Amino acid sequence: MSYFFQLVISGVVVGSIYALSALGFVLIYKSSRVLNIAHGQIIAAGAFITYGLTVWANLPIYLSFVLSMILTFFLAMSVERIFLRRLIGEPIISVIMVTIGLMSILDGLIYLTPFGTENFSFPPFLPVTPIAFFGVSISWTQLVGVIVTFTLIAGFSWFFKKSTVGISMRAVSDDQLASMSIGISVPRVFGLAWAMAGLSAAAAGGIIGNITGLNFDTLHAFGIVVFPVVILGGLDSILGAVVAGIIMGLIQQFASGYLDGNWGLNGTGEVLPYIILLIILLFKPHGLFGIHEIERV
């Protein structure tokens, strides 16, 4: 039974990181209908900036975590300004392609740094001994990671519910024309959505980096695995991203905990999300919380 609870805990940990990664993705999709395929690279960039500030600039890790969130905020904002601003109104296919090109560019830039090929890990700053109760253990980094994640998600939800900027962002995602008519600058909101996505991506990157260590392949894989999460949650729902993130984390952990090694199966945790994705696309394409706006063709 404790094995079960151990899986639940690691599922929630992984799932909350998925939720945070998916959050940024959903933000961009919700406001500008762009599928950001380069999200994993932004997560990786955030993680590497955090590491650089902590280890090379010798800043305290809390400060560098916040600083990297701010830096990635501006990085993502400039990405939107340089590459995507001029594509507003272009067919959706070119916009997706641009994010694919962006993914390659960021890949190339990261490979120019040592982070592309080597592995790094953050200096430990929390107690190393895991907390154990009832035969289940959770490490301090995981615990702090989950707490930070949920604080951030709560912060984002508050931002969208209450703040003026958040409300204007929601307005743009509902109706661009109407929001323009009441004086909201739609391109600015797009930029802001990218910036917020960058911010949440940097946070996700920092947390992943602390839990699993810094490896470029692991980090940018999060950009692909958010797809099953956001589809399950319904592409444009923040609540959906959070719930689906946790569900996906649990499914992955249970799959690799119970299925691997039996019946000749291996690595099921990696593939199950995509199988679920295909099934959802076939039968319930708007996901759990998405708006029923998909037209039949």
Footprint of other proteins on this chain (CB under 8 A)?
Answer: 33, 35, 37, 83, 86-87, 90, 92-94, 96-98, 100-109, 111-114, 116-117, 224, 227-228, 231, 264-267, 270-271, 274-275, 277-278, 281-282, 285, 294-297
Which of 5/111 has CB closer to other proteins?
A: 111
Contact in structure between 65 and 207 (CB atoms under 8 Å): no
In the complex, minimum distance from the CB of residue 115 to other proteins, in angstroms, rounded to a whole number: 10
In the complex, minimum distance from the CB of residue 4 to other proteins, in angstroms, rounded to a whole number: 25
Which of 52/116 has CB closer to other proteins?
A: 116
DSSP the chain: -HHHHHHHHHHHHHHHHHHHHHHHHHHHHHHH----TTHHHHHHHHHHHHHIIIIIS---HHHHHHHHHHHHHHHHHHHIIIIIGGGTTS-HHHHHHHHHHHHHHHHHHHHHSGGGTS-B-PPP-S-SSPEEETTEEE-HHHHHHHHHHHHHHHHHHHHHHHSHHHHHHHHHHH-HHHHHHTT--HHHHHHHHHHHHHHHHHHHHHHHHHHH-B-HHHHHHHHHHHHHHHHHH-TT-HHHHHHHHHHHHHHHHHIIIIITTSTT---HHHHHHHHHHHHHHHH-TTTTT--S-PPP-
In the complex, minimum distance from the CB of residue 107 to other proteins, in angstroms, rounded to a whole number: 4
In the complex, minimum distance from the CB of residue 9 to other proteins, in angstroms, rounded to a whole number: 26
Report d(CA 90, CA 99) in Å as an integer. 13
Which of 242/272 has CB closer to other proteins?
A: 272
CA 149 vs CA 27, 88, 188, 257: distances in Å: 16, 32, 26, 24
In the complex, minimum distance from the CB of residue 126 to other proteins, in angstroms, rounded to a whole number: 32
Which of 37/202 has CB closer to other proteins?
A: 37
Which of 56/295 has CB closer to other proteins?
A: 295
In the complex, minimum distance from the CB of residue 227 to other proteins, in angstroms, rounded to a whole number: 5
Report d(CA 64, CA 124) in Å as an integer. 14
Which of 101/155 has CB closer to other proteins?
A: 101
In the complex, minimum distance from the CB of residue 69 to other proteins, in angstroms, rounded to a whole number: 25
Which of 65/190 has CB closer to other proteins?
A: 190
In the complex, minimum distance from the CB of residue 280 to other proteins, in angstroms, rounded to a whole number: 10
Which of 162/296 has CB closer to other proteins?
A: 296
